[in-house]
Structure 1
Amino acid sequence: MNTNNVLRQITYEIYKQRTVMPEKMRTNYRIERANGGLLCDLWFLTVGCIHDAQGGCVMCNYGKGSGVVHWDKILGELKKIVERLPWEFEDFLLTPSGSMLDEREVSKSMREDLCGILKGIRTKRFIIESRADTISEEGLDFVKKAVPDAEKYIEIGVESSNNWILKHCINKNTTYEMFQDAVQKIHQAGMYVTANIGLGYPFMSEKAAIINTVRSIKDVLNDGADSVVLFPYHIKKGTLLNVLSENGMYRCVSFWSLAEVLGYFSETELSKIQISWYKDYFGEEKSYICSSPGTCPNCERKVLKELDEYRETQNPEIIRRLREYPCSCHAEWKQQMDRENGQIDIKRTEEEYRKLAEIYKTDRQLLEQEIGIMKDEFMRRYGNE
C-alpha cells in the first residue's frame, strides 16, 4: 500500500474525535438534473469506510458509523424510498458511506437484499462507488444483477494519477496502478469505469493543484476511464483539510479554477467530463461542510447557475463563457495565478507537515523518517523537471 504514517496517524486522531452519525440519518437521497435527465443518489449508512477508520483521506468525512449496523431498519427505509421513485432516471447512484464492494462494509447478504429492492428501478445507467482495491469478480457480479437492464458504471475515487500526491498530500493508501488494474477487471466484466478526480490538493499552491488535476484527467482518460467526475474539494468537519484551514494552511479553490481545468479539454473530451459537489447539496442541518468553492458575492449566484447548467448539459460553450466572465474577482484570481508557483514546493510541504506535527505532538523520529521518505520520493519523481 501507499502508506504515509504521519498523515495516517493524524487523520486517525481526527477520526476518533468525530461524533458517531445519529440513527435518524441512516438513509438519504437526492434528485437533481444532470447529463440531460434526472439523477438519483440513494445513500445508506454502514460501519463506514474502513480506510477512514484507520486514518483515511485528508478531505473525506462520509459519516462515522457506530460499528453496529441495524440493517433491517436501513433496508426498510431504502425500500420505502425506492417505492416513492416513479420516475425514469438517466443515472441512478447507490452509495453507502464507504465502498460498495468492500465486504467488510457491505456484506454479501446485504448486497443480495439490495438486489431485491432495486429490481423496479428504471434507469439508463446504474452506478456504484468503490475503492480501487475492492474491485473483485464477485463484487462485479452483484452490480450485473442489481439493475439488469441498465448500463453499469463503477465509480472509483482516483483523486490523482500521481502516486506522490496520493501518498503525501491525500493519504489515499492506494496507487494509480491499482486503478489501472481495476479498469481492466471492470472492462472485462462488460462494465464501464468512472474516475473521480479531485481539485484542491493540500500542501501545494492552487496553481500547482490545477496543473496536477489536468494531468490526472488526461491520464485516466488515456488509461481507459469511460468518464470522469471532477470534484473540487469542500472543507468538511472532522477532516485534515479542516485542521489545515483553521491553522491558515488551506482554503477551498475558486470556481475560476474549476473553469480553468475544464478549459484545457476539447469538446470531445468534455463530453466525458462531469462535475459534482461544487456546491453543498444537503444544507446546513445535514451537512458536515464548513466551506465550499466559490467566487465573490457579486457573481457567485450567476456562476453557480452556469455550473448547474453545465452539469445538466455538458455544453462546452458554458466553459468558454466562464473563462471570459467579467468580474473583478476573476481578474484578481488571474493575478494570483500569475504570482503562484505551478510546481509543488517541497519546502512548503515540509513546513506544513512540521506545523501539523506540533499540533498533534507527532513522534519526532516518525516525523523525520516520513519527511525523509517524502523528499526522497519527490526527488526521484521531480528531480529532472
Structure 2
Amino acid sequence: AMIRALREKDVNLYAEFVRLSFLNKRGFVTEQMGNEVVTGCDSLDETEFPEQVFDRLFGMEGVYKTRPFRYSFEVRAESITKEKLQMMKRYLGNGRTFLEIGVEVTNEWLRNHWINKSLSDSKLENAIGMLHEEGFKVNTNILLGIPCLTEEQSIMLFRESVIKLMNLKSDRITFHPLTRKPYTINHYLFEHLKDNPFLKNIGIADGEHTGLPWMFSIIEAMAGIFEEFPKLSRNFGVGQFNIFEDSDILVYNADRSCSCNKDLFKAVDRAMKTLHTSEISEIRKNMKKDPCYKAYEEVLERQKNAGDIRETLGIVGKEMIASLWDTEKEIKTEKFLKELDSM
C-alpha cells in the first residue's frame, strides 16, 4: 500500500525507489549473465512498470552496465500494444528479448471460467502475432495439472495446449506442474473436501494428495509429447521444480518423503539441461516397477468414474458450492451449471 501511494504521488520517485531497491539487492550488473528474468504481475502494466522504471533500470544511466544474453519479461497478453513494445525496444535494443505470457491451458472455457485468466483465444493470437512483428520472442507458460481434473484429463489438455501453441508459433513453451498454494481453488479443495465421499469416489479427493497431480503423470505427459515431437525439447522448459521448500506443495507420488520423487525431479532437470529426453522415455517404461505406482493405478481406476471434463467439473462444482453456501446452494448450483453449459 505504501509503494502504491508513492506511485500515485510521484511516478519519478517510484521509479527511483525501484532502481535503489535493485541496487541494494544486486548492485550494478557488470558481467554478462545468461537469462535475466524480470517478473512481477505484469511488466507492461502502467501502474507497476511505467516507462520511468524502464528508464531507471535499462536506460543510459540504468543498472545494467552489461546486457545479459537474454531478457525475459512476464507480461499479460491484454497489456501488449505496439506502442509499449516500441518503448521497450528503445531501452532494450533489438537483442534477444522474450516476453512470457501465462496461458495455463489453451481450452478457452477452462482458462477463463475455471482458472479465471480472462484471456480470449483471439487476444492470445493477436498478442503473439504482434510480438513477432516487433521482433520479440514469445514464451508461453502452461500448467500440467488443471485444478480439480483427473490425471488423464490433465495429460490430454497438456498435449492439446502444447500442440496449439506450437501452431501459434510460440518460440518457447514452459510448463509448470500444478502446485498446491494458499488461496487457490485446489488448496480449497484440499482444505475442505479432501475427505468428501463423492469426490473420493471419482478420485479427485485423495487425502493428503488432494489438489495435486502425481509425478508419474508429469513423466507420462513429458515422455508422450517428446516422443511425438522430438525437436520440441530445444524450445521447451520446465518451471516450479525449484521453488522454496515448504512455500508451496510440489507434485509428488504416493509419499512426499519417498526417494523416487527426488530421483524423478533430478531426471527431469537433467533432461532439460542436456536435451537428452530419451531418459524421460526410459523412466516412463520402468516406473510401473516403483512401489508407489500401485497407488497411482488405484487413483486412475477411481477417476474412471469422473466421466469427461464437463462431468468432472459438474461434480466438483456442486460439492464446492455446497461447502461454501448453505442457504443459497440451489441458486448457486443452477447458475454454475448454466455457465458450464457454455463449455
Flag whether TM exceeds 0.5 (same fold): yes
Note the C-alpha offset of 1:136. 1.1
Contact 1:228 1:272 in 2 (8 A): yes
Among 230, 251, 267, the residue aligned to 1:267: 230
| 1:76-225 to 2 correspondences below 5 Å | 76-83=20-27, 85-96=29-40, 98-116=41-59, 117-148=62-93, 150-225=95-170
Structure 1 residue matching 2:52: 3-state secondary structure:
helix
Equivalent residue, structure 2, for 1:242: 187
Equivalent residue, structure 2, for 1:347: 311
Provide, for residues 161-192 of structure 1, a one-character-per-residue CA deviation record: whole Å limited to 9, x for no partner. 11121133211111222111111100000111
Among 294, 304, 307, the residue aligned to 2:252: 294
Among 263, 284, 288, the residue aligned to 1:323: 284
Provide, for residues 99-128 of structure 1, a one-character-per-residue CA deviation record: whole Å limited to 9, x for no partner. 111213322322322223353243222110
Q: Which has the higher helix share?
A: 2
Structure 2 residue matching 1:229: 3-state secondary structure:
strand
Q: Which has the higher strand share?
A: 1
List gaps (5 residues or longer) in structure 1.
Answer: 1-19, 24-45, 48-65, 379-385
In percent, how many aligned pairs have the same letter? 20
Sort the Cα spacing of 1:150 and 1:89 in 2 relative to 1 into closer, same or farther, 3 A. Answer: farther
List gaps (5 residues or longer) in structure 2.
Answer: 195-204
Among 248, 266, 273, the residue aligned to 1:305: 266
Q: Which has the higher contact order (CA 8 A, sep 6+)?
A: 1
Decide which moves more: 329-338 or 195-204: 329-338
Structure 2 residue matching 1:123: 3-state secondary structure:
coil
Note the C-alpha offset of 1:313. 2.5
Note the C-alpha offset of 1:339. 5.5
Decide which moves more: 302-311 or 144-153: 144-153
Note the C-alpha offset of 1:320. 1.8
Among 217, 234, 237, the residue aligned to 1:257: 217
Provide, for residues 63-103 of structure 1, a one-character-per-residue CA deviation record: whole Å limited to 9, x for no partner. xxx9999654432121244436554322111001x011121
> How far apart, CA to CA, are the structure 2 residues paired with 1:190 and 1:99?
20
> How far apart, CA to CA, are the structure 2 residues paired with 1:257 and 1:216?
16
> How far apart, CA to CA, are the structure 2 residues paired with 1:75 and 1:220?
35
Sort the Cα spacing of 1:138 and 1:118 in 2 relative to 1 into closer, same or farther, 3 A. Answer: farther
Contact 1:263 1:319 in 2 (8 A): yes
Decide which moves more: 305-314 or 140-149: 140-149
Sort the Cα spacing of 1:109 and 1:207 in 2 relative to 1 into closer, same or farther, 3 A. Answer: same
Contact 2:223 2:284 in 1 (8 A): yes
Decide which moves more: 137-146 or 168-177: 137-146
Structure 1 residue matching 2:69: 3-state secondary structure:
strand
Contact 2:16 2:56 in 1 (8 A): no
TM-score normalised to structure 1 length: 0.72
> How far apart, CA to CA, are the structure 2 residues paired with 1:283 and 1:85?
28
Sort the Cα spacing of 1:367 and 1:131 in 2 relative to 1 into closer, same or farther, 3 A. Answer: farther
Structure 2 residue matching 1:112: 3-state secondary structure:
helix
What one-letter code is carried by the residue in structure 1 that aligns with 2:164? D
Structure 2 residue matching 1:128: 3-state secondary structure:
strand
